[in-house]
């Protein structure tokens, strides 16, 4: 059964996200992907992978992912966040980070840790 990977990227990280996802397209294709609206559309339109699209982060998409984590429906999260910009939905962002910690769900917040995360999960699937 495919692992479920949630994908989120802040606006200032979208270019980095597309480059990362394109480089890792083959590996990402082995996962069931779920993402907030704008990130999901980039995955579909720019990277060419199927992905379940949720609401945008500010509209509640971060909270939707948080709820899925709590329900055990997400195996890992890649959240390329912009720590240098304030976000009006900061409490929602912090909630995602918190539920990952509380429910022991792997979380990557930059391209390097995201690469390690998906490679590790992919390795588990192929063993």
Residues catalogued as catalytic: 62
CA–CA gap between residue 111 and residue 122 (Å, rounded): 16
User: CB burial class (10 A; 0-12, 13-18, 19+) of residue 99?
Assistant: buried
Q: Are 79 and 99 in contact (CB under 8 A)?
A: no
- Give the whole-angstrom CA distance, residue 2 versus residue 28: 11
Among 32, 69, 36, 37, CA closest to 50: 32
């Amino acid at each position: 059964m495919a692992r479920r990977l949630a994908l989120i990227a802040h606006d200032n990280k979208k270019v980095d996200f597309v480059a990362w996802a394109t480089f890792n397209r083959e590996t990402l294709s082995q996962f069931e992907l779920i993402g907030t609206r704008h990130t999901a559309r980039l995955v579909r339109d720019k990277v060419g992978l199927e992905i379940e699209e949720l609401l945008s982060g500010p509209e509640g998409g971060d909270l939707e992912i948080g709820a899925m984590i709590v329900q055990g429906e997400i195996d890992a999260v890649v959240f390329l966040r912009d720590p240098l910009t304030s976000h009006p939905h900061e409490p929602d962002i912090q909630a995602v980070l918190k539920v990952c910690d509380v429910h022991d769900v792997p979380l990557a917040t930059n391209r390097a840790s995201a690469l390690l995360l998906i490679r590790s999960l992919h390795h588990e699937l192929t063993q």
